[in-house]
Structure 1
């Protein structure tokens, strides 16, 4: 083995796509001994990764009880490097790294401060205090972590790439799909099925999707965590909600669709995000219908793999969806373009090389 690595999360699911299926899997396939300490039902081995189960708890219990349980699990593993994924773990992870004298890597999945803006339950003074606390946490990670991994250049730019005159790695590992895991859709006459995968909320386009499939006479298949009253989905005869599913089931679900939807609201954390589901739709050869964000258009516009639409124009969304569903031949062309783009470099195969190189560098420093 090339080294013993521990990944840590008390917030994410035990089969989280980025953590387990991408980063941990990539390191295991590269020959490292990889452990994942995470909330789970039981210990197991997946993709060669040893998953160590800790109990899932509520937000406040996580801050004390779960972190103490995670610390004990790490002591049993005795890692040579700790890579953690939750902002609330920043103080604990830094303390563990200092105590055990091992390098610590913070994985910034999102811009934490901007993310506060998308929380509908935070208003006024509460939102101000949450932003301030988030800023202090990120500053702590920036100053003291041995490396930072993140998903897009814009988030990487918020971290300092030098510390005390020395280079400190800030590495972008994009949240792209493994191309090999996503078989391309076989195209035939369309059955007017559209798909959406990921967290389901008003901000993420729930009402837009429901309106669009009604007007376009379509069927909507959803898979993901429902952050609103689930009856909003189940009460519609046009919607089939599969719930939260393991990553291995996503390719099959996406492949049922003639179009994949990504109709997010115009919020700062969304407008400058790297939409994983768009890449997954492309990997399956399914065209996307996405919010017309400038960042997304710059990223995907030249690929001719989908259609952009104003997320605030319900009529335009329905018309664009109807036009795609009425033209399966066009969908096949757009989907094929997306699949080729993933095969040519928009896959996690290339991103894994950067992660492995970072770990090798930190272990030999």
Structure 2
């Protein structure tokens, strides 16, 4: 009988590309898989007997969501009989550890961020210290730790000196490229600045509005396209009205990371990934959106941070800029607008890079662990 993998995730797996890819890979390797995750009012739930949803209320504070998830997921988790249990984020760790402890199974912790230095806790030292202790206690019980980039691995290695830590980046899946499309059926001008992803603080939105205004002031026919979802959506829409940009800025989505973005062939899209240095978690991040731009052959301008720099310089897929220097950002965007040869070269490099930078190659590291 094939081995069974239990994956526990605090959020909704329908909106989490990493967990979805993990489930698909584990099944392709011949393992049985079971998922315990949550769904909130208004969210889509995947109809699949392997996925067990815990129904949560819509809480204004994350702590209440976490507590409700623990109370409701415990019985489901403890009745499972896996060979491996994977905590797919920090706050899934306690339930995953209980299963591991009760059933004598091996625990894998998937550490996706520099959790003790999140932007949302940058002004709350007590929260940062609590998360640090919380992670150190539960993650120390794991058999192995996965993480998403080398910088976070370096931090974790100092915290867990004897613990094996493996980098499995959240790269796009080759099999999904071109299979499903998110079509943008609107007229777009010569230049389209495009942002893919979540509408969260620290993602450079004010910079994007200022970029659009300066381009238009200089006579460049351009629009700004936001594709995604998130807590700042209403604020963005109000900002568009306040700035008088209703004809120039489009907000649409959400889209699935498994979809390819289909834009009118007449426009030249330029991706934007100007993460602001609000915390160490942001500075040492490797944003999913740069790989989504690459998947869609969209050259981009991105923050000159360590992990992003390594990808951009090695594969020549975009242009780097200091996210706190507007003139440098504007110059980088103009370079992609004015230098057609450079733009086409970067676009072709995006396609070539995916031959190496893909989930199928990256997740082999996990397969070697699970099959042992």
TM-score (norm 1): 0.84
Partner residue, 2:31: 32
Q: Distance in 2 between matches of 1:43 and 1:304?
A: 37
Partner SS state of residue 135, structure 2? helix
Partner residue, 1:200: 199
Counterpart of 1:270 (choices 282, 290, 303) is: 282
Partner residue, 2:185: none
Closer, same or farther: CA 155–310 of 1 in aligned 2, 3 Å? closer
Partner residue, 1:355: 366
1:55: how far off?
1.0
Partner residue, 2:298: 286
Partner residue, 1:245: 255
1:162: how far off?
11
Partner SS state of residue 126, structure 2? helix
Q: Distance in 1 between matches of 2:268 and 2:25?
A: 29
| Conservation of the 8 A alpha-carbon contact between 2:6 and 2:86 | yes
Partner residue, 2:313: 301
Closer, same or farther: CA 266–159 of 1 in aligned 2, 3 Å? closer
Closer, same or farther: CA 254–179 of 1 in aligned 2, 3 Å? farther
Partner SS state of residue 323, structure 1? helix
| Conservation of the 8 A alpha-carbon contact between 1:183 and 1:283 | no
Partner residue, 1:150: 147
Partner residue, 2:81: 78
1:207: how far off?
0.5
Counterpart of 2:350 (choices 321, 324, 338) is: 338
| Conservation of the 8 A alpha-carbon contact between 1:226 and 1:243 | no
1:253: how far off?
6.5
| 1:66 corresponds to 2:61 | no
Partner residue, 2:127: 130
Q: Distance in 1 between matches of 2:158 and 2:274?
A: 34
Runs of at least 4 residues off by over 4 Å: 160-163, 253-257
Q: Distance in 1 between matches of 2:309 and 2:233?
A: 32
Q: Distance in 2 between matches of 1:15 and 1:294?
A: 27
Q: Deviations over 1:202-248 (max 9, x none)?
A: 41111111111222232222222333252423533222212332223
| Conservation of the 8 A alpha-carbon contact between 1:195 and 1:254 | no
TM-score (norm 2): 0.83
Aligned-residue CA RMSD (Å): 2.9
| Conservation of the 8 A alpha-carbon contact between 2:297 and 2:351 | yes
**Aligned positions, number:** 345
Q: Deviations over 1:121-164 (max 9, x none)?
A: x63xxx1111110110121133211111111122223335999x
| Conservation of the 8 A alpha-carbon contact between 2:312 and 2:319 | no
Q: Distance in 2 between matches of 1:174 and 1:272?
A: 13
Partner SS state of residue 309, structure 2? helix
Q: Distance in 2 between matches of 1:17 and 1:65?
A: 24
**Gapped runs of 5+ residues in structure 2?**
182-187, 217-221
Partner SS state of residue 197, structure 1? strand
1:360: how far off?
1.9
Partner residue, 2:106: 103
Closer, same or farther: CA 60–265 of 1 in aligned 2, 3 Å? closer
Partner SS state of residue 166, structure 2? strand
Closer, same or farther: CA 333–231 of 1 in aligned 2, 3 Å? same
Closer, same or farther: CA 42–260 of 1 in aligned 2, 3 Å? closer
Partner SS state of residue 79, structure 1? coil
Q: Deviations over 1:307-327 (max 9, x none)?
A: 111211223323322332344
**Gapped runs of 5+ residues in structure 1?**
none
Partner SS state of residue 156, structure 2? coil
Closer, same or farther: CA 34–251 of 1 in aligned 2, 3 Å? farther
Closer, same or farther: CA 196–162 of 1 in aligned 2, 3 Å? closer
